[in-house]
Every structure is written in C-alpha cells, then in structure tokens.
C-alpha cells in the first residue's frame, strides 16, 4: 500500500450510476488516473486482476482512457484495452474475455464537453455506495502499489459476431438507422453489412462534436432527421441510439415515435412465448398498457425503480428474462447477458418483425390506446429534488391517495396515474401522466401541478 497524497474528486462527479463531469472544469485526466488506482485497489482487495477498458467517441475520451489505464496498471491490474465502441461492447468484453471487471470512458448522451466512466465489478454494475467508496479510497490515497500490465485486445469483430449470431432471418425489412455520430457508428456499419434487407445509415461516422443532433433519442427533436428519412424512404421502421449505445430510440413506418415501454410490449410477447409465466420488469415510468399486456400474455408484470444499474440488479435477482425502461434502456437475459445493449435489442426486434406480416405500425395500432405525456423533465437543484418528493409524498399521505412509492410517487386515480420522481443522474424532476381520455389526462396534470405548488415548486407548462 502506498500512502501518497490523496486525490479529492469534485463531489458533483460521483453520481448514482456513474462518474460524470465537465472536462476541464470538474473532470480531468488526473481524476481518471486516481479513479484507476482506486478501482484497481478495490478490485485487488476482492481478488480480481483482469479488467477490460473501452472508450466512446468523445474528443476527450482517448486522453481520459490513457490516464485511467495508467492508474489501473500502476495499482496492479492486467488492463485489456478493447478499443473504441459502445458501452455494451465493454459489458460484452467482461464476459467474452472472462475478466474480473470493466470500465468504459463515456459521457453517454450528454453534451460534447461532458465525459465520465461506467464501471462493472465482476459481472455486476458498480454503482451507488461503491462509487462513494471509490471517492473515499482516492481521498485517502491508500492505493494498492503493484505493477500490472497493459495490452490491446480489440473487440469490435467478436462483438459484432455475437450480436449477429442471434438474428432470426425472415421477411427482409427496410430500416433507417441513426447513430447520432455516437459510439455505435462503427459497430452499426459492421452489423448492417451482415443483415439481409435494406439499411440506410444516418450519422454513422463517430464524431464527438455531435454536429448533426444530440445523441439522445428520448428527446423527440433528436429523432426529427430519422422521422424525415423513414417517411421519405417509405421504410418499415427507424432505429436510433444514444451516444454510448445502451439506449434505443424507435420510429414506426409512419414516422411515429415509439418509446421503450411500447417496444417492450412487442419484445415481451416474443420472450413470454418461449418462457411462459416469467417475470418481466419495467420501470415506474412505463405505461399501464405494458403491465396489462404482460399479464394478458401470462407473464408476471413487475414494476421497478428507474435506473439502469438498479434494473440490471433487480432482473438478475428475480431471474427475469427481459426488462426495460421507457427511456430505451432494454435488458435481455433471454439468450443474452442481462444488460442493456441497444444494437442487440434492434437485432432481436428485426427478427420478431421479420417473422410475420404485421408491420411495426400495425402492431402499434393494436396496442391499448392510452393518452399520456412523454417523460416531462424540469430543472430542480440536486440538493432540493429529494426534499420536494418528500413534501409531495407527505401531502399525498394526508389526502389518503393511492401511492406506489417504489421510486418517487406513482399516484393512481380513477382517471389513470401520474408520476413524480427525482432523477438520480441530473438536477431534474421527472413527471409523467397517463389516462384513458384527454379530460382525464388534464385532471391528472392539474393534480400534479397542485402538488408541486404545495411543495414549493412552480410547475412548468405541460
């Protein structure tokens, strides 16, 4: 053990599911180096030695990856550098290379100036208290002081082989893809070159400046190019990815956006046909239509907390073959490893759609017609957001409302439901409401606004 001077991270970068900051302001190469030493010390304490390291397409990623690799090596790890690619390529590497953990340098869907790290310890996501522990280890400077090694193990080819292996051939489809200049670009080109059908690729060159649109498919304006291209081409569907490829965006042949909870209805039907009665997990933001459909198909619908690390952990505990979030994080354990790989989800979806004559738009039209808001996000300082939720919760308790408090509050009424929760990753509150008709949705939105005002927050226009 070396007791060098400790390294103190900016406290804002140690987040719930990852480490993330603004490069040159709250995050530097020195942070990456210290993180490498702290992570290596934690892994060595648990007996681990081999670790996979990947990075996304951001301009700052190579420099941060180099500093991180040096820190990992300096504290005794065998570092396998798998190269540039999406975050799920790193998850795959941990299994494929039988490593003891993995790290990805990525700012996910955030602006070009941001960057950060997603990590696995063993085959589990490293998050929550463990991230705080890394911060303490670094502050104490009590780093493991052994010599490790660095080697290059490019993984893109093996990753693409694994993805394509689970494609089920059927009716050839015309697909427009939008990688948003994110880290999936190269893998996407390799995958689509090996699939039957017609594939048009938008923004598949990796460019960390994101010159075309922001790589976040949950924001409808980021899907505008894809929608235009699908309509112009008369394509069967459009598929988009977030910046690091762990979230999927979807557009049907009419150019209508389908969120993760709608896509899940299709994927759940396929999985439940092969695993009857299985639990299927969806997050608190998901439409009631999804939970109802899972039950109708004979599955057990389970509502879980939003957050990719929480979803992965919960699905492993309950042995669920499939889990998904409205945000587009979708997790396959059926035939796969139980983590969120958007390219893999796309391949499974194309297989399902190719197996019969129903188009994606027709499938969408058969879904229960719920009227809902998209995910509504509005700013609320980090140090206040959980207190706001507590005040709303207290107000609801005083009214005797029907509340599911698994993650924020999901309030059931005769009209439908509304949700208010604090984001674990951003200084925002997240809301959503869903009813069977427009008047009901208005009543729900008014209730939500009333509760926000009572908690001292001026509700945004929604």
Two structure tokens written together for 388: 């706001």
Q: What one-character-per-residue DSSP string does 53-100 give?
A: EEE-S-TTHHHHHHHHHHHHHHTT-EEEEEEE--HHHHHHHHHHTT-S
**What is the x/- site pattern for Zn ion, positions 189-228, by CB under 5 A?**
----------------------------------------
Q: Name the residue number minimizing CB distance to Zn ion.
A: 108
Number of residues that bind Zn ion (CB under 5 A): 4
Applying CB under 5 A, among 108, 110, 115, 424 the residue interacting with Zn ion is 108
307 contacts 424 by C-beta, under 8 angstroms: yes
**CB 109 → Zn ion: shortest distance, Å?**
5
| Residue whose tokens read 């996407």 | 188
**CB 27 → Zn ion: shortest distance, Å?**
17
Q: Determine the distance from the C-alpha atom of residue 52 to the mean position of all C-alpha atoms in its chain, rounded to a whole number.
A: 20
Looking at residue 222, the DSSP 8-state letter turns out to be G
- Which of 227, 271, 222, 272 minimizes the C-alpha distance to 247? 222
**What is the x/- site pattern for Zn ion, positions 377-406, by CB under 5 A?**
------------------------------
By CB under 5 A, is residue 110 in contact with Zn ion? Answer: no
**CB 218 → Zn ion: shortest distance, Å?**
10
Closer to Zn ion by Cβ: residue 6 or 128: 128
Could you tell me which stretch among 29-37, 117-125, 243-251, 397-405 binds Zn ion (CB under 5 A)?
243-251
Spatial distance between the Cα atoms of 38 and 448, rounded to a whole number of angstroms: 43
**CB 146 → Zn ion: shortest distance, Å?**
33
φ and ψ at residue 446, rounded to 5 degrees: -65, -40
Applying CB under 5 A, among 73, 200, 236, 246 the residue interacting with Zn ion is 246
Q: Own/partner pairs for 330-333, CB < 8 Å, 24+ apart?
A: 330/248, 330/260, 330/263, 330/264, 330/267
Two structure tokens written together for 406: 């698994």
**CB 345 → Zn ion: shortest distance, Å?**
13
Numbers of helices and strands, H then E, in the chain: 14, 25
Closer to Zn ion by Cβ: residue 208 or 279: 208
Spatial distance between the Cα atoms of 415 and 152, rounded to a whole number of angstroms: 57
User: Which of 60, 108, 144, 278 is the catalytic position?
Assistant: 108
By CB under 5 A, is residue 325 in contact with Zn ion? Answer: no
By CB under 5 A, is residue 306 in contact with Zn ion? Answer: no
Applying CB under 5 A, among 18, 31, 216, 244 the residue interacting with Zn ion is 244
Closer to Zn ion by Cβ: residue 108 or 447: 108
**What is the x/- site pattern for Zn ion, positions 64-103, by CB under 5 A?**
----------------------------------------
Applying CB under 5 A, among 18, 70, 242, 283 the residue interacting with Zn ion is 242
By CB under 5 A, is residue 327 in contact with Zn ion? Answer: no
Could you tell me which stretch among 67-75, 234-242, 266-274, 432-440 binds Zn ion (CB under 5 A)?
234-242
402 contacts 413 by C-beta, under 8 angstroms: yes
Residue 381 burial (10 A CB sphere; 0-12, 13-18, 19+): exposed
Active site residue 108: yes
Spatial distance between the Cα atoms of 208 and 113, rounded to a whole number of angstroms: 9
Could you tell me which stretch among 5-13, 28-36, 113-121, 241-249 binds Zn ion (CB under 5 A)?
241-249
Would strands 248-252 and 257-258 be described as parallel, antiparallel, or unpaired?
Answer: antiparallel
The residues annotated with a catalytic role in the active site are 108
The binding site for Zn ion (CB under 5 A) comprises: 108, 242, 244, 246
């Amino acid at each position: 053990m070396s007791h060098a001077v400790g390294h103190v991270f900016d406290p804002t970068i140690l987040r719930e599911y990852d480490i993330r900051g603004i490069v040159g302001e709250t995050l530097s190469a020195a942070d990456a180096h210290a993180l490498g030493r702290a992570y290596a010390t934690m892994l060595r304490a648990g007996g681990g030695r081999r670790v996979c390291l990947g990075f996304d397409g951001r301009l700052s990623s190579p420099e941060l990856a180099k500093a991180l690799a040096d820190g990992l090596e300096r504290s005794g790890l065998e570092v396998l550098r798998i190269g540039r690619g999406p975050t799920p390529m790193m998850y795959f590497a941990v299994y494929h290379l039988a490593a003891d953990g993995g790290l990805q340098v990525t700012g996910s869907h955030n602006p070009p100036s941001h960057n950060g790290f997603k990590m696995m310890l063993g085959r589990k996501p490293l998050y929550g208290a463990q991230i705080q522990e890394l911060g303490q280890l670094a502050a104490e400077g009590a780093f493991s002081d052994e010599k490790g090694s660095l080697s290059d193990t490019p993984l893109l080819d093996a990753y693409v082989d694994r993805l394509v292996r689970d494609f089920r051939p059927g009716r050839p489809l015309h697909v427009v893809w939008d990688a948003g200049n994110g880290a999936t670009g190269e893998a996407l080109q390799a995958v689509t070159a090996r699939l039957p059908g017609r594939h048009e690729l938008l923004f598949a060159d990796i460019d960390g400046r994101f010159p075309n649109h922001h790589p976040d498919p949950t924001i409808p304006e980021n899907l505008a190019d894809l929608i235009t291209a699908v309509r112009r081409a008369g394509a069967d569907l459009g598929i988009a990815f977030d910046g690091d490829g762990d979230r999927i965006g979807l557009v049907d042949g009419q150019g209508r956006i389908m969120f993760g909870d709608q896509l899940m209805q299709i994927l759940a039907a396929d999985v439940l046909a092969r695993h009857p009665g299985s639990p299927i997990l969806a997050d608190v933001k998901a439409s009631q239509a999804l939970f109802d459909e899972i039950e109708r198909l004979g599955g057990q619908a389970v509502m879980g907390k939003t957050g990719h690390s929480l979803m992965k952990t919960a699905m492993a505990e309950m042995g669920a073959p499939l889990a998904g979030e409205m945000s587009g994080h979708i997790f396959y354990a059926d035939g796969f490893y139980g983590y969120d790989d958007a390219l893999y989800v796309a391949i499974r979806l194309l297989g399902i759609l190719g197996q019969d004559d129903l188009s994606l738009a027709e499938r969408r039209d058969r879904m229960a017609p719920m009227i809902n808001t998209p995910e509504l996000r509005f700013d609320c300082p980090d140090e206040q957001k959980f207190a706001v939720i507590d005040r709303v919760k207290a107000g609801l308790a005083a009214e005797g409302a029907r509340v599911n408090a698994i993650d924020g509050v999901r309030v059931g009424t005769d009209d439908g439901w509304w949700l208010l929760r604090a984001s674990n990753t951003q200084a925002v509150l997240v809301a959503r409401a869903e009813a069977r008709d427009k008047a009901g949705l208005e009543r729900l939105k008014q209730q939500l606004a009333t509760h926000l005002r009572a908690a001292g927050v001026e509700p945004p226009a929604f």
